[in-house]
Amino acid sequence: MKKLIPILISFFVSAIIVPLMILISKKFNLYDKIDDRKIHSGQISRLGGVGILLGFASAIIYLIFETDVFKGMEQNIWFLIPAAFLIIIMGIIDDIKNLKARIKLLTQIIAASLVIIGGFKFKDISIGYWTINLGYFTYPLTFCWIIGITNAINLIDGLDGLSGSISLISALTFGIFAYYDANMSAFYLCITLACAICGFLIYNLPIPNAKIFMGDGGSQFLGFALAIIPLTVTKTSSFVSLPYAIAILLIPIFDTIAAIWRRLREHRPINSPDRFHLHHKLLLLGFSKRITLGIIILLQILICTFLIFSLWLGRLTSMALLITVYIMGVLFFSIIHFGKNQALRKQD
């Protein structure tokens, strides 16, 4: 029963805090800024991420003091909580005052350094029959992974329910991987994060319209948390290898790579906003916001379903499914890219 309580805590704390953030935003006029990446109009609170973090953190603290879930971990869970708070505080300040890019990056570097000091890192890369020991490369690879995923989830957060839904499906998929490998530490991180996201999505899904956004604080926290989960290992379980972790988060990763390449090609700053992320391209093709959300969620579910099936298959078949997922992602993004170009030519 004790291990069911944190699941309830994460959901209900999030579900209670989020509407409080709506009231606070109304009182202090803390509404989302409109820029070239946003597609909404109207005054909408951007403090929903506070509910997600507090729901997740409350559940983790309960697990630390009331259960033995984290006793088998090789990492120190206490390094995760302050790092997560650092990320979301920076994000909230950015939502309110629009911080400079170098300050945000510095904050992310400090947070990533904290969890790496706490033992959260990739030790090797496994795929099929092959395992590569990272040696000294473990630190720069882990560092780039944490910073990269933190920003990838942030960049794709431009449509009601999108970032939250992708993060929810990813967290549940990581959770299935963890449970299959008997890594209960990672499993509870996944399931409590998923429940905290659910408490937020009640107010963020376009049914009929989003009542609150997670803001940069929420999206960067989710990216940070999803980056840390694959690094949570025990003495007997590593549960997910880097190639599979990348595949689970393939949509935001590919979208970020496309955005960076687009901005470099156009000689613009990497952090400059635009309207050519995946969801923008689907909207240009004539899909409504809800159908666009549905298409991306369906793709995320399809990818994760393939990867989950790979758990019960042989190594070669599992590797084949993994490769299929990557090919599927490349084809989908390529088709949408060329479709977007045709749509723009028609507009001209």
Task: Give me the tens of pLDDT residue by residue for the chain, a chain 348 residues long.
Answer: 677 999 999 999 999 999 999 999 888 877 755 555 555 455 788 899 999 999 999 999 999 999 999 988 889 999 999 999 999 999 999 888 888 989 999 999 999 999 999 999 998 888 777 888 888 899 999 999 999 999 999 999 989 999 999 999 999 999 999 999 999 999 999 999 999 999 999 999 988 788 999 999 999 999 999 999 999 987 767 788 999 999 999 999 999 999 999 999 988 888 888 889 999 999 999 999 999 999 999 999 999 999 999 999 888 899 999 999 999 999 999 999 999 889 888 876
Residues in Cβ contact with 287 at an 8 Å cutoff, skipping those fewer than 6 apart: 295
pLDDT at 96: 84
CA-CA distance, 174 to 130, in Å (whole number)?
Answer: 21
131 — phi, psi (to 5°)? -135, 125
Is omega for the bond preceding 208 within 30 degrees of 0, making it cis?
yes
Between the CA of residue 65 and those of 68, 180, 208, 261, 345, what are the distances in Å? 8, 25, 40, 46, 60
Strands (E), 99-216: 124-127, 130-133
Structure tokens at 258: 């496309």
CA-CA distance, 197 to 214, in Å (whole number)?
Answer: 10
CA-CA distance, 177 to 309, in Å (whole number)?
Answer: 10
**Of the candidates 200, 277, 195, 276, the residue with the CA atom closest to the CA atom of residue 3:** 195
- Any alpha helices (H) in 29-100, and if so which ranges? 48-66, 80-97
Residues 198-214 as b or e (16 or more Cβ within 10 Å = b) = bbbbbbbbeeeebbbbb
CB of 314 closer than 8 Å to CB of 180: no
pLDDT at 244: 96
pTM score of the predicted model: 0.94
Give 346's strand partners: none
CB of 18 closer than 8 Å to CB of 51: yes
- Any alpha helices (H) in the chain, and if so which ranges? 5-28, 48-66, 80-97, 101-117, 138-155, 162-180, 184-204, 215-228, 242-248, 250-265, 278-284, 289-309, 315-347
Q: Where are the domains of the chain?
A: 5-347
